[in-house]
Amino acid sequence: MYGALRPLLFVLPPHVAHAFAFAALWPPEHLAPLRAVLRCVARPADDARLATTVMGLTFRSPIGLAAGFDKNAYRPRALAALGFGHLEIGTVTALAQRENPRPNLFRLPSDRALVNRLGFPNEGAERVAARLGAARASLGIPIGVSIGKSRAISPEDIQAVVADYIAAMERVRNVADFVVVNVSSPNTRGLRTLQAPRHARTLLTALKDALGPSGRMLVKIAPDLDEGGLEDILDVVEQLGLVGVVATNTTLARDGLRTPSRRLDAIGTGGLSGPPLRSRVLATVRRIRARLGRRVVVVGVGGVETADQALALIRAGADLVQIYTSFIYGGPFIASRIARDLGEALEREGVKNAADLVATDLTAPGADAHP
């Protein structure tokens, strides 16, 4: 059905199609009987092979929704009913802010990809947290919240940056099962400089202290880090004992695309997501797992459209897998479909649980038990 509807949606500008999708999700978001019907249609049969326990949380499926789709927690109940194993809300900032000037979202159909330069538009962490808190009892799956830097805060003033992130953290920590610190979006000026070791250590230490010893905090990194940059941020993750890493955000690279260069030039800057990112994500996930062993949770995100691709990420070392662009191209039931197909693949291989496939070729010294 979605295959027939998608060409009509893709005639619309991306921001209009997004608004249309949110309008379609309004009834199940606010009407419990409709959510129950949607859950029955979308949710794959309970499959113990898919259940994943990390961070002290149980995920009925490793397939979750990445940050970026529901920035303001407008539709968490409806999205939870679509068969996702978890949701990541946001990215939210301490200060409410508008999106960057339009056009700021572009489709690359030849590559099944997106380019965005939205820049963390959201209503502010306080309002988003209040809305999410009101919905939490109806969700039934783990919920993460991504936090980022407010645009008004200069990236050169690291103390102001820290205070800004802490303000966002303090507002969302009580409504989130885990918090993801986004220091890797290419669409907020200077944000990626926070991945540098000195700034990352200052920021993440302060946020970890603000979250408290029982909190679960992950950091989301860019796919464009060179080998040295990746090692540097992983050193910080290890030294601070962070719970995990989300790999990765969108990329600034444009190599290997089918989309004509003149179209890419017309679009301009922005983060690329979707299948062109997949090989970078696989390599990054594999490196994180080899470097840090089983001490951290690794969330792989980028280009996953099928169960085989999700399985490849899990084999590379991902505990959890997130999708976003494939949700746009594949339709509302794609998480359910990937989870169902993943369960069937595990059955064919005689695997009792997806977690058993997480990379065991751990070359980093001192790898210990998984959290």
DSSP symbols for 260-275: -HHHHHHH-S-EEESG
Residue 202 lies in a domain: yes
Q: If you average pLDDT over every residue of the chain, what do you get? A: 94
Name the pTM for this structure: 0.95
What's the average model confidence in pLDDT over 5-10?
90
Tally DSSP H helices, then E strands, for the chain. Answer: 14, 13
Listed in sequence order, the residues at least 6 apart from 241 whose beta carbon sits closer than 8 Å to its beta carbon are none
Residue 366 lies in a domain: no
365, 368, 340, 257: which is closest to 49 by C-alpha?
340
Which residue range forms the structural domain that includes residue 335? 2-357
Residue 219's pLDDT band (cuts 50, 70, 90): very high
* % of the chain beyond a pLDDT of 70: 96
Average pLDDT over residues 71-90: 97
- Which pLDDT score is estimated for 366? 39
What pLDDT was estimated at residue 2? Answer: 80
CATH number at 120 reads 3.20.20.70
In a domain, 369, yes or no: no
Residue 367 lies in a domain: no
Q: Which of 191, 332, 186 is nearest to 272 (CA)?
A: 186
What per-residue confidence (pLDDT) applies to 359?
65
* pLDDT of 118 over the 60 cut: yes
Q: Number of folded domains in the chain?
A: 1
Strand pairing partners for 122? Answer: 97
Q: How confident is the model at residue 360 (pLDDT cuts 50, 70, 90)?
A: low
Confidence (pLDDT) at 108 = 98
Q: What is the mean pLDDT of residues 318-323?
A: 98
Name the least confident of 5-9, 289-293, 307-311.
Answer: 5-9
Domain annotation covers residue 133: yes
Indicate if the pLDDT at residue 368 is higher than 50. Answer: no
Could you confirm whether 279 is annotated as catalytic?
A: no
pLDDT reported for residue 44:
66
What's the pLDDT at 45? 62
- Out of 146, 150, 184, 185, the active site residue is 185
On whether residue 371 sits in a domain, the answer given is no
Provide the token pair at 110.
Answer: 């030849």
Find all residues with CB under 8 Å of 208, minimum gap 6, and list them.
215, 217, 240, 242
Q: Which has the higher per-residue pLDDT, 136 or 370? A: 136
- CA dihedral (231, 200, 142, 21) in degrees, to 10, reads -100
Residue 46 has pLDDT above 80, yes or no: no
Tell me whether residue 257 is in a domain: yes
CA distance 6 to 13: 12
